Amino acid sequence: MFAQRCLPLLLFVATTTLAHEFWLQPASFRVAAGATLPLRLLVGDGFVGTAWPRPTRRVRRFLRFGPGGFTDSTDLRPALLADSLAPAIGCSAPGTHLLALTSQPAFLGLPASQFTAYLRAEGLGYALRQREEAGQTTSKPGREAYQRCAKALVFATAGATGRTLLASADTAYRRVLGLPLELVPEQNPYRLRPGAALTVRVLRQGQPVPGAPVQVWQAGIAPGPAAAPAIRHFTTYTNAQGRALLRLPGLGPYLLATVRMEAAPPALAGQADWLSTWASLTFGGPETAGKTVYSQPAN
């Protein structure tokens, strides 16, 4: 009886330690050029997250591409070395800036039935079918390695210099980084009108992934006197060319996420049977009146 009562609690504890979505959350997705923008590293579900612990042990690489060119993780590293959960990113030039973070592999293990439930809940059909065909769903514990590939798009408006960037030159948003898994928009979401279509590709090391699930969350303000935060969610799938078509009604911000699980490579075979890769993309919505532009607070 005691074991039966404890099983739901044990399952809850186990599932709270699973991979889940991971994303980059700037203080604002629109910033005045020249300002330094605080950035949070979050993990959670439903676009509701908590700070990602111990980033110094987990970050593999942090990159930024923008109108001013390319920078590696040097501007983030001091904050990471201090185990800061709110590093700051400088956006010196107007235009769209692409931030990208990849993590080191982490590992988890679950009893067979719990791992099977986890695969079903996350829609990881390939691993589930393989375990079903091998008769492992109730007999073999799940050993998983997981890694994260998070990207964010930040739009910097013209600062005191009044410099602007033509849309034709503002191309950082569509840059393919060759990550283990990534979401790449084919249009700049900051230069679309509300309700316009946005095409997003899912790529695995630069190659399209057909049939990939793409989860979309839109955070905004619900109508009514309370003006409470509202989060809308839906799931779509990529076509044979790895593309998914979305509609952006405005406001935002948005979180897009996808996950892929495959057999662990030989380098991880001693620690895991499966490798999952969790990719995300966050950005603000199309231009609308009343958008808040973050400017660096006065000292």
Domain boundaries, the chain: 2-283
**pLDDT recorded at residue 110:** 94
Per-residue confidence band for 293, with pLDDT thresholds at 50, 70 and 90: confident
Average pLDDT over residues 236-249: 94
**CB-neighbour burial class of residue 250 (10 A; exposed 0-12, middle 13-18, buried 19+):** middle
Mean pLDDT of the chain: 82
Q: Other C-beta atoms within 10 Å of 57: how many?
A: 11
pLDDT at residue 2 in the model: 30
Model confidence at 83, pLDDT cuts 50, 70, 90, reads low
pLDDT at 190 over 50: yes
Amino acid in position 120: R
Q: What is the DSSP string of 48-98?
A: EEEEPS-HHHHEEEEEEEETTEEE-GGGTHHHHHTT-SS-EEE--SSEEEE
Yes or no: say if 298 and 202 are a contact pair by the CB < 8 Å rule.
Answer: no
Q: How far apart are the first and last CA of the chain?
A: 61
The answer to whether 41 and 152 have CB atoms below 8 angstroms apart is no
pLDDT-based confidence at 98, cuts 50/70/90? very high
What are the angstrom distances between the C-alpha of 161 and each of 32, 154, 157, 158, 182? 11, 19, 11, 7, 34
82 vs 109, higher pLDDT: 109
Residue 79 pLDDT: 59
> Is the predicted pLDDT of residue 131 greater than 50, yes or no?
yes
Cα dihedral 61/65/71/77 (nearest 10)? -40
Instruction: Read off the pLDDT of each residue in 41-66 and give the average, rounded to a whole number.
Output: 84
Q: What is the pLDDT of residue 15?
A: 38
